[in-house]
């Protein structure tokens, strides 16, 4: 048997990964959920045929979406994650003793159940006593909060399918309202390389900048995402992602990370010229 | 017809690119040379089945291997490129008026001829009057020079096949000897992500650090190279790649680049923790 999982990055470009077995396949109310096992990437989760995470490189995405805002905010205690039912962002957050409460809003309960069963190294902290999971649409959940969270992490899927509402102006406006006056929002910001992905970057960025006074884009290398070049957004009402970073304070926490470090934190906001131009187009 | 070019990044992982036509295929004395045309990456060159460059993302590799050392050296006039028969590094160098002479040492004349004919936007400056092409083995060429070059760019293929000699200790020792006392060497340093590629990183780095007092690694996003995460080496006898960078001086040259800029230059030396660790293993 020779199973191959192929994800199309464009109509004519695909990344193929040899699969040793399929661990799970089920259609939820929202999407097709699959978990595979592979030699090169360990286990991986796909939603509607798109790779969401692999055991081998998920640390990059989760460390960068969590530790960048966490290292900037002086006292992040009350945190909201929208999406992220796999538990990767929760796991990174739970490493901070200062965190008092995490609301995880995941529309698809089945994603959480499947990850708990088949991706235990990712979902490891979903049962932490500080975590409350809400099976609800993030777009609706966020409407009822004002001046409440220190940090919101938008760990969404792509801007089509069940996550579509998380790419609207209304959503980012409500995130701003739900954050305290020194709150921070981090979100996945898509990839700048392929033209269709670059359109998504423009679309997200345009919506975020209308809702936040400060919005900067940072980058990371994520091998299993299209082009391997991935962007994140850092938006805030008060803090600057580089000027307000207290390296020493973060280093004193003693958290062991595999991708993130404070030098890289600062460096990740220096973008290639073509990415700078892409973002400036909508600013 | 539905042509697909697939490059294996590991035994079980491959990047596939739909091809509209094959423009050239020929076996030289050294390797199989092919040029294809694709919708997503324009034309691309493959040697022995491995992608060397595509029209759509070659700017990243060539800007980073050239402009990083060029922005640090205060007066680079006499330059050696080993490999690089496609002409991409030559093109970037020829944009500097200060450059007086470029020796390009390419073992395979047929690569140069094929690129001139089929990849004219890359090979555009191979006929510049400052460029002299030597069809010779770089390992042998370098032996006869002492205190001669300001900058050596090692634009080699992977550490197997005809480029193998360019990954030896002898070669880097001779590069050091061929450089002036304030000379700089930049080289492609492979990818840190997949285990076999990471071994190549260790192997190259180990050899470079025995020959140069200062050696730093920097990174870029190159979508068509394995994992999309690519490393370069900056080695020198005198200059530090970040402390000795004169941003203003470089910016005053007015060179338009699409990936490189001086902020990114500094940032590209901040590596993810796992890459830092990989490099420190051999230091």
Does the beta-carbon distance from A264 to B273 stay under 8 Å? Answer: yes
Among B53, B74, B91, which residue terminates a domain?
B53
* Whether residue A102 is found in the same domain as residue A29: no
The verdict on B271 touching A (C-beta cutoff 8 Å) is yes
| Ramachandran class of A227: left when φ > 0, alpha when ψ lies in -120 to 50, beta otherwise | left
* Whether residue A113 is found in the same domain as residue A161: yes
The C-alpha atoms of residue A218 and residue A220 are separated, in whole angstroms, by 7
Q: How many structural domains are present in chain B? A: 2
Write the pLDDT tens digit of every residue in B234-268: 999 999 999 999 999 999 999 999 999 999 999 99
The C-alpha atoms of residue A60 and residue B251 are separated, in whole angstroms, by 33
Strand ranges (DSSP E) for B189-238? 214-221, 229-236
Among B35, B53, B71, which residue terminates a domain?
B53
- pLDDT (average), residues A154-161: 80
User: Which residue from B minimizes the CA distance to A15?
Assistant: B15
* Whether residue A205 is found in the same domain as residue A274: yes
Domain harbouring B119, CATH code: 3.40.50.150
Residue B277 scores a pLDDT above 60: yes
Write the pLDDT tens digit of every residue in A169-225: 899 999 999 999 999 999 999 999 999 999 999 999 999 999 999 999 999 999 999
Write the pLDDT tens digit of every residue in A87-117: 999 999 999 999 999 999 999 999 999 999 9
* Whether residue B26 is found in the same domain as residue B86: no
- The interface predicted TM-score (ipTM) is 0.96
Residue A1 scores a pLDDT above 70: no
Write the pLDDT tens digit of every residue in B39-66: 999 999 999 999 999 999 999 999 999 9
The closest CB to that of B227, out of A13, A223, A276, belongs to A223
The C-alpha atoms of residue B256 and residue A274 are separated, in whole angstroms, by 11
| Min Cα–Cα distance to chain B from A84, Å | 23
* Whether residue A10 is found in the same domain as residue A102: no
pLDDT band at A165 (very low <50, low <70, confident <90, very high): confident
* Whether residue B209 is found in the same domain as residue B70: yes
* Whether residue A203 is found in the same domain as residue A242: yes
The C-alpha atoms of residue B119 and residue B122 are separated, in whole angstroms, by 6
Domain harbouring A16, CATH code: 2.30.140.10
Containing structural domain, residue B8: 3-53
Write the pLDDT tens digit of every residue in A28-63: 999 999 999 999 999 999 999 999 999 999 999 999
Write the pLDDT tens digit of every residue in B191-213: 999 999 999 999 999 999 999 99
The C-alpha atoms of residue B6 and residue A228 are separated, in whole angstroms, by 17
* Whether residue B76 is found in the same domain as residue B46: no
Does the beta-carbon distance from B12 to A40 stay under 8 Å? Answer: yes
Terminal-to-terminal C-alpha distance of chain A: 51
Contact A41, A51 (CB under 8 A): no
Interface of B with A in 80-119 (CB under 8 A): none
Residue indicated by tokens 């699409």: B258
* Whether residue A145 is found in the same domain as residue A103: yes
Residue A70 scores a pLDDT above 70: yes
The C-alpha atoms of residue B74 and residue B282 are separated, in whole angstroms, by 30
* Whether residue B176 is found in the same domain as residue B76: yes
The C-alpha atoms of residue A87 and residue A126 are separated, in whole angstroms, by 6
A155 among known catalytic residues: yes
Does A54 belong to an annotated binding site?
A: no
* Whether residue B24 is found in the same domain as residue B75: no
* Whether residue A46 is found in the same domain as residue A161: no
The C-alpha atoms of residue A203 and residue A221 are separated, in whole angstroms, by 21
């Amino acid at each position: 048997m020779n199973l191959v999982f192929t994800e199309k990055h464009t109509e004519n470009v695909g990344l193929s990964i040899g699969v040793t077995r399929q661990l799970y396949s089920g259609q939820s109310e929202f999407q097709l959920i699959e978990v595979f096992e592979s030699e090169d990437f360990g286990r991986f989760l796909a939603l509607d045929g798109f790779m969401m995470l692999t055991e081998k490189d998920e640390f990059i995405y989760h460390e960068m979406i969590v530790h960048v805002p966490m290292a900037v905010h002086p006292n992040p205690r009350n945190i909201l994650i929208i999406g992220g039912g796999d538990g990767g962002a929760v796991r990174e957050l739970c490493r901070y003793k200062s965190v008092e409460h995490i609301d995880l809003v995941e529309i698809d309960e089945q994603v959480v159940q499947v990850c708990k069963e088949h991706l235990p190294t990712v979902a490891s902290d979903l049962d932490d006593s500080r975590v409350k999971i809400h099976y609800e649409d993030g777009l609706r959940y966020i409407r009822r909060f004002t001046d409440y969270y220190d940090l919101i992490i938008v760990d969404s899927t792509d801007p089509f399918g069940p996550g579509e509402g998380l790419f609207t102006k209304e959503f980012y406006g409500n995130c701003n309202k739900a954050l305290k006056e020194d709150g921070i929002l981090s979100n996945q910001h898509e990839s700048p390389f392929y033209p269709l992905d670059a359109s998504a970057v423009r679309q997200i960025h345009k919506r975020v900048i209308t809702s936040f006074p400060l919005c900067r884009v940072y980058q990371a290398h994520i091998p299993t995402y299209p082009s391997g070049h991935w962007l994140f957004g850092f938006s805030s009402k008060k803090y600057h992602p580089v000027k307000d970073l207290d390296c020493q304070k973060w280093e004193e926490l003693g958290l062991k990370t595999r991708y993130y470090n404070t030098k890289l934190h600062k460096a990740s906001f220096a973008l290639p010229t073509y990415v700078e131009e892409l973002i400036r187009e909508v600013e």
